[in-house]
Amino acid sequence: MASPKYRLFSVDDHIIEPPNVWIDRVPSKYGDLIPHVIEEDGRQYWVWEGNKIPQMGLNAVAGKPQEEWNTEPVRFSDMIPGCYDPVERAKDMRSDGILASVCFPTLAGFGGRVLNNFSDKELASLLVRAYNDFILEEWCAAAPDLFVPMIIGQLWDPEAMAAEIRRCAELGARALTFPEGPVSLGLPSFFSDYWDPIFRACEETEVVVCMHIGSSGELTNPAPDGHFIIPIALGNLNAQAAMVTFAMSPIPRKFPNIKLAISEGGVGWIAAALERADRQFKKHRLHQHMDDLLPSEVWRRNIWGCMIDEPIGLKSRYDIGVDKILWECDYPHCDSTWPHSQKLVHEFLGELPEEEITAITHGNAEKLFRWKIGVGAV
Amino acid sequence: MASPKYRLFSVDDHIIEPPNVWIDRVPSKYGDLIPHVIEEDGRQYWVWEGNKIPQMGLNAVAGKPQEEWNTEPVRFSDMIPGCYDPVERAKDMRSDGILASVCFPTLAGFGGRVLNNFSDKELASLLVRAYNDFILEEWCAAAPDLFVPMIIGQLWDPEAMAAEIRRCAELGARALTFPEGPVSLGLPSFFSDYWDPIFRACEETEVVVCMHIGSSGELTNPAPDGHFIIPIALGNLNAQAAMVTFAMSPIPRKFPNIKLAISEGGVGWIAAALERADRQFKKHRLHQHMDDLLPSEVWRRNIWGCMIDEPIGLKSRYDIGVDKILWECDYPHCDSTWPHSQKLVHEFLGELPEEEITAITHGNAEKLFRWKIGVGAV
């Protein structure tokens, strides 16, 4: 195979957790409380602590024809192995010129919210560590030059989560997934000091905080009786809400070196969102006794956005900052460019100046995640 | 005074209803159920059917120094008369070169939602008619060349509302205010046929349906303990949610000549929102058995956006369509350009080609509302 033209760093892909993630790593005394897979009526189910879900891989449609996209897989064998097998995933990635990949969890929730719902928090903490060990020892170890380690944490216990971030950072973790709307999960907002230990740990270890749209468990749906694509088409609303709230919050003020990456939010809305936020900030900061650190300044210093393919959005790149734009593949979801990433990237980026192509396809992500494409951690 | 350089058509201003709107027009047998103003402890209150609110003019800060913006007026005398007096309002508008103005209600809710909450729907219907009569006979009559009549309707009774739209259209109404998120109000979504009589009446009478952000009674607030400006900075989320939902819904398919104006949403997000919505629509329309009318085509045919001053957003005007962009003053709210509209418009539009300035400042709105600036209804 000819070597692919574009060297791609995908900052947003998804692991479909294989059945052994937790049962291999959590003491067996917890028995059926541990997430595990059972067979029943010719289907497979994930089962844990009073829950049973028939859905083996949320929107894991990679490699399927579009006509089958509305059928969720009910067995692992309904998916291509790259969904859950890191060796196969790495082959799929490389075959499409994707040489670095940050992977979010699925069963655990994009931001780890599912484990937050366990009533036994001691077990939940073991499950968090087990997931992170799976990532570090099994998933990423299968292709250490390619898989950028992303971990989850104990959202219900910021001190324990900070310790877990430090433990994993020592072992090579480069990213933490964190819910983009914690209030929706019954957790404190970005304005609370509850989260300080976590952001302090991320700042000190240079671990990038990644907020994926929908990790709050909610998307905007103004018509529950309408097409299911409406909340997806409105997914950037979660991204803007998280970005603007974070940029006005105390977090980047207390932790000026914190790095936040917003995942699957697209980029076309960013310049307008910053213009709108700056306008409100300037109008009201005096009578609200706010400081003079504009949302757009926090953006430039602390936040990155990413996109799949967005030719119109990309026109605003000089207002966003070319150095703040990352690329994502979104394997194995239906928005994914895989296995046509080279073609699609060429169509929407090919005409840009060489240095912009380099920055967006991998250069910006390399700096952000301290990772050299084709090499690994640096 | 020198005649102002820019002839401005504002598609979004706000009436602070004067105390007599309803008591002058609804049979006195309804007594204290009718919205009326009382004096108590040196303040004024609006009182109706079990409600008492101490807030005389939501965010009516026109003419006040910024330091006082966080104090809501508790008496009519806390506001400049232009807030509630149409003769004074017309003077204020003209002094700033604003020669046409569409005004939304305040007490009734931007989209009339407050009247929807009345338990006595017969009274509520009388209140709707009274408001509309006030608009047609009193507010707009004070400057018939300047005030573009906007009415409200009986959201709980689409047939009655359709009849009211037709009655008022005969009397000159050019616009209807309608909540941008009816589901939040406990009403059916745009995918329901519940609303058909209303949209049919608007299509037939060419009355423009105006959806103001927040008219659903909700704004996005990811940090209830954070700055109050966050939901305002995120106001465009409501606009995008309404626009995308409408564009995918049956309404523009059943009523291909319907005209929808989205108010106070800004414009910088529109091109990216359409790109994202089109992408989802194209990906899923086959297996979801949708037609091939793209959201961006509905936009071009049926929807208009508006902005206050938004230099960055305006850069995307060729992707939005210069003919789809309207201007608003937002008098008397704190986002208003008044009394500096000429200066601000010059700063952010002055460099554009002449025909674009004409279109955005008034030409597009003239066509949409069938209204000639400086003359009135055409």
Residue among A57, A151, A67, A170 nearest A106 (CA): A57
- pLDDT value of residue A267: 97
Both tokens of A313, joined, read 């959005």
- pLDDT value of residue A369: 98
Please judge whether A235 and B276 are an interchain contact, meaning their C-beta atoms are less than 8 angstroms apart: yes
Q: Which residues pair with A176 in a beta bridge?
A: A151, A209
Chains A–B, number of C-beta pairs less than 8 Å apart: 211
Q: Which residue of A has its CA nearest to B286?
A: A67
Confidence of residue B288 (pLDDT cuts 50, 70, 90): confident
Per-chain mean pLDDT for chain B: 95
- SS3 letters for chain B? CCCCCCCEEEEEEECCCCCHHHHCCCCHHHHHHCCEEEEECCEEEEEECCEEECCCCCCCCCCCCHHHCCCCCCCHHHCCHHHCCHHHHHHHHHHCCEEEEEEECCCCCCCCHHHHCCCCHHHHHHHHHHHHHHHHHHHHHHCCCCEECEECCCCCCHHHHHHHHHHHHHCCCCEEECCCCHHHHCCCCCCCHHHHHHHHHHHHHCCEEEEECCCCCCCCCCCCCCCCHHHHHCCHHHHHHHHHHHHHCCHHHHCCCCCEEEECCCCCCHHHHHHHHHHHHHHHCCCCCCCCCCHHHHHHHHEEEEECCCHHHHCCHHHHCHHHEEECCCCCCCCCCCCCHHHHHHHHHCCCCHHHHHHHHHHHHHHHHCEECCCEEC
Confidence of residue A310 (pLDDT cuts 50, 70, 90): very high
pLDDT at B190 over 60: yes
Please judge whether B234 and A241 are an interchain contact, meaning their C-beta atoms are less than 8 angstroms apart: yes
CATH class (in words) of the domain with range A8-18+82-377: alpha beta
Residues of chain B found within 8 Å of residue A191, distances taken between Cβ atoms:
223, 225-226
pLDDT at B1 over 60: no
| Fold exhibited by the domain B8-31+83-377 | TIM Barrel (3.20.20)
Q: Which of B56-70, B71-85, B303-317 has the lowest mean pLDDT?
A: B56-70
Segment B164-184 mean pLDDT? 98
pLDDT at A288 over 80: no
Residues A81 and A72 sit within 8 Å (Cβ to Cβ): no
Measured distance CA(A218)–CA(A255) in Å, rounded: 27
Domain residue limits, chain A: 8-18+82-377
pLDDT at A109 over 80: yes
Confidence of residue A65 (pLDDT cuts 50, 70, 90): confident
Would an 8 Å CB–CB cutoff place A233 in contact with chain B? yes
pLDDT at A319 over 80: yes
Please judge whether A230 and B245 are an interchain contact, meaning their C-beta atoms are less than 8 angstroms apart: yes
Please judge whether A183 and B223 are an interchain contact, meaning their C-beta atoms are less than 8 angstroms apart: yes
Would an 8 Å CB–CB cutoff place A116 in contact with chain B? no
pLDDT at B140 over 80: yes
Residues of chain B found within 8 Å of residue A293, distances taken between Cβ atoms:
none
pLDDT at B183 over 60: yes
Question: How open is the CA angle A46-A52-A57, to the nearest 5 degrees?
Answer: 40
Q: Which residue of A has its CA nearest to B315?
A: A316
- pLDDT value of residue A287: 76
- pLDDT value of residue B2: 61
Confidence of residue B285 (pLDDT cuts 50, 70, 90): confident
Min Cα separation B145/chain A (Å): 32
pLDDT at A1 over 60: no
- pLDDT value of residue A332: 95
Measured distance CA(B86)–CA(A193) in Å, rounded: 49
What are the backbone angles phi and psi of residue B152, rounded to the nearest 5°? -115, 175
Residues of chain B found within 8 Å of residue A59, distances taken between Cβ atoms:
none
- pLDDT value of residue B290: 86
Please judge whether B312 and A244 are an interchain contact, meaning their C-beta atoms are less than 8 angstroms apart: no
Please judge whether B312 and A272 are an interchain contact, meaning their C-beta atoms are less than 8 angstroms apart: yes
Here the ipTM equals 0.96
Per-chain mean pLDDT for chain A: 95
pLDDT digits (tens, 9 = 90+) for A19-50: 999 999 999 999 999 999 999 998 999 999 98
Q: Which residue of A has its CA nearest to B66?
A: A287
Q: Which residues pair with B15 in a beta bridge?
A: none
pLDDT digits (tens, 9 = 90+) for B94-129: 999 999 999 999 999 999 999 999 999 999 999 999
pLDDT at B26 over 80: yes
CB atoms within 10 A of CB A130: 19
